[in-house]
Amino acid sequence: MGAHELTWSSFLREPTSVERWLERGDVLLRRREGETLRLSRESSDTAQREALLAAVRLLTLGAAEAKEKLDLDEVQVAERLPWTRFLPARSRAQFVAEFLNTLEACADLGEFAAVGRLVEDWKATASLHAEGLAERLKGPIPSTAGAKVPRP
């Protein structure tokens, strides 16, 4: 089932026309000056969420008990997520454990923004390692011998 596309203005002119398209799948409403909206049936969304939750729970089976003992093949992780090559091995294992736990929690809620933020944060960490700044940022900040800034 693919998504049918309509313009926002045609939807506003004939809102009931969307019903026939929803029987075939989702409807994308394209707006000239805004983000595209997706209309879908609640039953379809619920079924997809339940399927995704079941898949995530099966894929993360045992991950909770084995957080620190995850036996990762570093080559496979780096093949799937090349940016992880810049992380130290211990950090790579920590990322995978956090990712699996967060993915499971997000699947339970049906909201995946937290997984996206987690990946963005870890990519930023990998970038710092790639640039050689990670160790420097862990140390103390050198004092500056400048004048004090007056209070506003």
Does 68 lie in the same domain as 8? no
* 31 occurs within a structural domain: yes
Q: Does a structural domain hold residue 73?
A: yes
Q: Which residues contact 143 (CB under 8 A, 6 or more apart)?
A: none
Q: Are residues 92 and 70 in the same domain?
A: yes
Give a yes or no: residue 76 inside a domain: yes
pLDDT score at 78: 83
Tens digit of each residue's pLDDT (9 = 90 or more) over 1-42? 578 888 888 888 988 888 888 888 888 889 988 899 888 888
pTM of the model: 0.59
Average pLDDT (80-102) is 88
Within this chain, do residues 83 and 116 fall inside the same structural domain, yes or no?
A: yes
What confidence score (pLDDT) does residue 130 get?
92
Structure confidence at residue 49 as a pLDDT band (50, 70, 90): confident
Cβ count within 10 A of residue 148: 5
Please state, in angstroms and rounded to a whole number, the distance separating the CA atoms of residues 27 and 40.
7
Task: Decide: 27 and 39 in contact? Cβ < 8 Å.
Answer: yes
Number of domains in the chain: 2
Q: Is 144 a member of any domain? A: no
